[in-house]
Amino acid sequence: MANHKSAEKRNRQAQVRRLRNKANRSKMKNCIRKVNEAVIAGSADEAQESLKEAISVIAKTASKGTIHKKNASRNISRLTKRVNTMTAAA
């Protein structure tokens, strides 16, 4: 347990940041899941729309420092590749 005033403040700040990061990561994962579900369902229009939203959310999550920028880039690349292969096959 924190014994100094500065350590107590640091603990409070860490808790707030942890909750904020958790919310951002959760939102990102939900967007990724929507894209994957649309691809599995085979609906190209829905997949394109959800991909556009997911790219924005993933980039914002990386810019806020919740995830690494290369992690964001990898996620965007894989989702885009998945949607493009689905639309090319259809």
The CATH number of the domain where 47 resides is what? 1.20.58.110
Give dist(CA 29, CA 5) in Å, integer: 36
Domains held by the chain: number: 1
pLDDT of residue 71: 98
pLDDT of the residue at 52: 97
Enumerate long-range contacts of 42-45, CB under 8 Å, 24 or more apart. Answer: 42/86, 42/90, 44/86, 44/87, 44/90
Residue 68: give the domain boundaries. Answer: 5-89
Q: What is the pLDDT of residues 16-71, one digit of tens each?
A: 999 999 999 999 999 999 999 999 999 999 999 999 999 999 999 999 999 999 99
